[in-house]
Amino acid sequence: MTASNPSAPADNEPSQSARGTPVARVLLPVIVLGAGVLVWHWIVDTYEIPPYVLPGPVLVAATLVEDWPVLWHSLLTTLLTTVEGFAAAAAGGIVLALLFNQSKWLEQAFLPYAIVLQVTPVIAIAPLLLIYLPQQTAVVVCAWIVAFFPVLSNTTLGLNSVDRSLVGLFQLYGASRLQTLRYLKLPAALPYILGGLRIAGGLSLIGAVVAEIAAGSAGAGSGLAYRIAESGYRLNIPRMFAALLLLSVAGIVIYMFLATVSHLMLRRWHESALGREN
């Protein structure tokens, strides 16, 4: 009879490192961020770098507060474009992937053109779109172009990755194509779809920023990208850093929101989410 080690954790009890993982996920990035800001402040203060070259974090924070009304309205404009482009990419990508899954002829006919959209730089397409479309529509289309393909490709991959044995079982029991799609393929492809949406969320923001820079128009409806370009022309570098900070925070919030939605939808049954509960 082998004596058990009382200091060893039980098999069904999570280890101390596993219990501390959620705290570390929050604490470690905060520590790294704080250290980076301190180093940034030290470099600017020690070498007396002028603000038009590299503003310090205190000046950037003060500029963010001072110019908040202008930056806030610009942020809302950029976020509206991002959401519209993301919604169009999500709906179009998922619907087209469903059609591809049901008809190989459609996939072979239209997939090459979707790839062309993906590999063509949006900065090259934006000036043409601004000629033929209203400005806001052109900006939204640019955001859609950048975010569309990840949703399409991930959804198509998920629908085509269903276990063939399960597909054969559904056919054996006389399930229709619609029933097989609804009860087998869509649930199996859900992790892929959500992964594509997480990627598309950040890319739609990038597409909106690129299109706003290409548009380069001033006014009440100007987004953060225009404010960044305007600040560069005027050597208002603190405002440029403040606008970049808002863009970074917006991208992080978009990703975290979509990641949370994905986790909530998968946490009860999919391994990728179950592991995070420990």
Domain CATH for 210: 1.10.3720.10
Nearest to 94 by CA among 167, 166, 164, 147: 147
Question: How do the pLDDT tens digits run along the chain, 278 residues long?
Answer: 444 444 444 444 444 444 457 788 789 989 999 999 999 999 999 999 999 899 999 999 999 999 999 999 999 999 999 999 999 999 999 999 999 999 999 999 999 999 998 888 888 888 889 889 998 899 999 999 999 999 999 999 999 989 889 989 998 888 899 999 999 999 999 999 999 999 999 999 999 998 888 887 655 458 899 899 889 888 899 999 999 999 999 999 999 999 999 989 888 776 666 655 55
User: Does residue 155 lie in a domain region?
Assistant: yes
CA 148 vs CA 122, 153, 233, 251, 274: distances in Å: 12, 9, 32, 17, 29
CA 271 vs CA 132, 219, 274, 276: distances in Å: 47, 49, 5, 9
Phi, psi of 209 (to 5 degrees): -65, -45
User: Does residue 42 lie in a domain region?
Assistant: no
195-208 tens-digit pLDDT: 999 999 999 999 99
User: Does residue 188 lie in a domain region?
Assistant: yes
| Residue 218: per-residue pLDDT | 52
pTM, entire model = 0.85
User: Does residue 19 lie in a domain region?
Assistant: no
| Residue 273: per-residue pLDDT | 61
User: Does residue 248 lie in a domain region?
Assistant: yes
Q: The domain containing residue 87 runs over which residues?
A: 66-277
163-210 tens-digit pLDDT: 889 989 998 888 899 999 999 999 999 999 999 999 999 999 999 998
Count the domains in the chain: 1
User: Does residue 53 lie in a domain region?
Assistant: no
CA angle 246, 251, 257 (to 5 degrees): 120
User: Does residue 70 lie in a domain region?
Assistant: yes
Nearest to 64 by CA among 224, 217, 204: 224
Can you tell me the distance from the alpha carbon of 143 to that of 121, in angstroms, rounded to the nearest whole number?
12
Query: CB of 61 within 8 A of CB of 71?
Result: no
On the 0-12 / 13-18 / 19+ scale of CB atoms within 10 A, 160 is middle
User: Does residue 129 lie in a domain region?
Assistant: yes
| Residue 93: per-residue pLDDT | 96
